[in-house]
Amino acid sequence: MGQACGHALLCRSQPPSSEIRGQQVFLRPEESSAPAVSARPSTTLSEQLQDALLQLATVVDVRSLRVALRDSIQELLPSTECISIYTLEGDSRLLSYDPLHELPPEGKIRSIAEQLKRCECAGLPPSELPEKYRICLAAPLPAHRRALVIPISDHDQKKVLAVVLVACAPLSDNDELHLNVLEKHASVACIRFQTIQASYQRPPPLSPSPLQSHNALLHLNVSEQDYCELDRNILQLCGELYDLDAASLQLKVINYLQTQTKSQCCCLLLVSEDNHQLFCQVVGDKVLEEEISFPVRHKKTTSCVLSMFEDMGFINTYKIDLQTLARFCLMVKKGYRDPPYHNWMHAFSVSHFCYLLYKNLGLSNYLEDIEILALFVSCMCHDLDHRGTNNSFQVASVRRHHFAQAIAILNTQGCNIFEKFSRKDYQRMLDLMRDIILATDLAHHLRIFKDLQKMADNGYNTKSRTHHSLLLCLLMTSCDLSDQTKDWKTTRKIAELIYKEFFSQGDLEKAMGNRPSEMMDREKAYIPELQISFMEHIAMPIYKLLSELFPGATELYETVAANREQWTKVSHKFNIRGLPSNNSLDFLDQEYELLQAQGAFGSDDHCLNGCLDDTDGGQGQ
């Protein structure tokens, strides 16, 4: 009984996110055809903008925020004559410290700020300004001077976080664009600073008394000593990440995580809001040309196989032509029929489980490269042209038929991926594939089980040809039955697909006047007991052997044992309640609905074994 693998990869095509992937790239405004007032070229302004944004990224308190805002504006607007900055204290008080005063709660400046939009005008009311700033900001201003009111706001909360008053020359289009970007970064800096500051004790209310005012000012800003190193790292990281392109942002986060956790490799899995799929674009220090996505769609599986060939080193080691490999993979996929279970998705899942074993168990330390390649290709081809019936129903061995189909594909023009092999290696490859594919017959596995156990007890000998052959057979069977190592939801769904095939065969046998075996008879099969028997006598011993040879595979055995316990609970429950009907598949439907009603699975997005059921006709293209 083959099983479908619950792990999957997807290379999801999308255009490159940036020509300078992997670098820190802040949002750059588009160049405007209008000339800038400043004598400096627009490219220099863009460099200045990035410098200004980097300075905002280092903000850790109110004082550094004011300094960063002042310096940023002076860099972007070199004609600036004066700058006054008000920052939010409490719920609504906007305070400036040069000199200490509060923005009037009513008036033109407050009205502009509450509109959350930047305003350029010919001057501000003198009564709303401290004497220090009246000469450069008070109306009326000469034609070559302008007053800017720049609200820094949290647009989600419709709240003003800071107000900046600037006296400068009239703004150019480039100035407008650069200020737009600066305002967004300043808003983020204010929000994250206030979030951190909120966790500290609130300052006492500001008193009109000069002495109390002075003491209150000392408490308004959280001291740098109050911040731990982690606070600083988080604040700076958040600032640096803002407005990066998607790939560069992920790369920055991954580099930070690898440094903090001292990991060899990290990746981010992002959840898509529309269909709750997981996407990954950056792994370690590499930006993938095509996203990986989980679960995988049927039409993308051949791309995944090509990626696995490349990652396992087969393409370079054996000089496999990429076009030949692509044709071979497509022909193998086309060679599968569409029974409920033994279809291309099963072959793909088995192949991917082989890839997982290679990556996680260090198979290259136990087997030769040519043996690993033979195992992987055999996983792809092991059920070619499967009709949904087993050996007992067909006179000829279906395993030999699967192998013959694989040879037929290799002999098809432009599909021989072993064309550059020597004559000796070519013959050995075919012999290996034949033996490995024939090993998928569980009767064969039972015949060699004692030899496998003896090998596990005595220890694997890398110099023994017999041990190599036995290990290849064990690995092939482990891959073929890998569905039993998945979560309960997947295991139950796979059981439904398998028994659909079994019952179809049983129906054919009845139509021919024969009596099918109990497991093939939809009116007699009791699926929980059949599954328990299969797991106890076949699956669990296989993964127990695998864990004895590879301690890293222990989790596989434990998962199979846990699924066996789940089937036991289901069987006990229906022994008490009785079966819902004479059709065993109805039992599976009712069991699933019952557990789903109890919240055992969460949402059901028709995700099968890590592979997403297509809405375009199952097999895809």
Domain segments of the chain as ranges: 42-226, 278-612
315 vs 239, residue with greater confidence: 315
| b/e sequence 547-583, b meaning 16+ C-beta within 10 Å | bbbbeebeebbebbbebbebbbebbeebeeeeeeeee
Which of 3-17, 171-185, 393-407, 478-492 ranks highest by mean pLDDT? 478-492
CATH, domain 278-612, list 2.60.120.10, 3.40.50.150, 2.20.25.240, 1.10.1300.10: 1.10.1300.10
- Is 480 annotated to bind a ligand? Reply is yes
- Is 352 annotated to bind a ligand? Reply is no
Which of 3-12, 291-300, 592-601 ranks highest by mean pLDDT? 291-300
> Distance (Å, rounded) from C-alpha 130 to C-alpha 125?
11
- Is 276 annotated to bind a ligand? Reply is no
- Is 390 annotated to bind a ligand? Reply is no
- Is 345 annotated to bind a ligand? Reply is yes
Identify the burial level of 514 via C-beta atoms within 10 angstroms of its C-beta, where 0-12 means exposed, 13-18 middle and 19 or more buried.
exposed
- Is 369 annotated to bind a ligand? Reply is no
Is the entire prediction scored with pTM above 0.85? no
pLDDT of residue 369: 97
* Same fold for the pair 42-226 and 278-612: no
Q: Name the fold adopted by 42-226.
A: Beta-Lactamase (3.30.450)
CA dihedral 224, 226, 232, 234 (to 10 degrees): -150
pLDDT tier, 571 (very low <50, low <70, confident <90, very high otherwise): confident
Kindly report, residue by residue over 7-59, the tens digit of the pLDDT.
322 233 333 333 323 333 333 333 333 333 333 444 444 566 666 677 777 66
pLDDT of residue 396: 40
Q: Quick check: 557 pLDDT over 90?
A: yes
pLDDT tier, 149 (very low <50, low <70, confident <90, very high otherwise): very high
Overall average pLDDT of the 426-434 stretch: 97
pLDDT of residue 437: 95
> Distance (Å, rounded) from C-alpha 107 to C-alpha 74?
27
User: DSSP string covering 305-363, please?
Assistant: HHHHHHHTTHHHHTT--HHHHHHHHHHHHHT----SSSSHHHHHHHHHHHHHHHHHHTG
209 vs 183, residue with greater confidence: 183
Kindly report, residue by residue over 370-410, the tens digit of the pLDDT.
999 999 999 999 999 998 776 554 434 778 899 999 999 99
- Is 344 annotated to bind a ligand? Reply is yes
Q: Which of 482, 408, 468, 399 is nearest to 432 (CA)?
A: 468
- Is 342 annotated to bind a ligand? Reply is yes
Kindly report, residue by residue over 52-109, the tens digit of the pLDDT.
677 777 666 778 888 888 988 988 888 899 999 999 887 778 999 888 899 999 999 9
- Is 567 annotated to bind a ligand? Reply is no
pLDDT of residue 406: 96
Which of 211-215, 515-519, 597-601 ranks highest by mean pLDDT? 515-519
Active site residues: 342
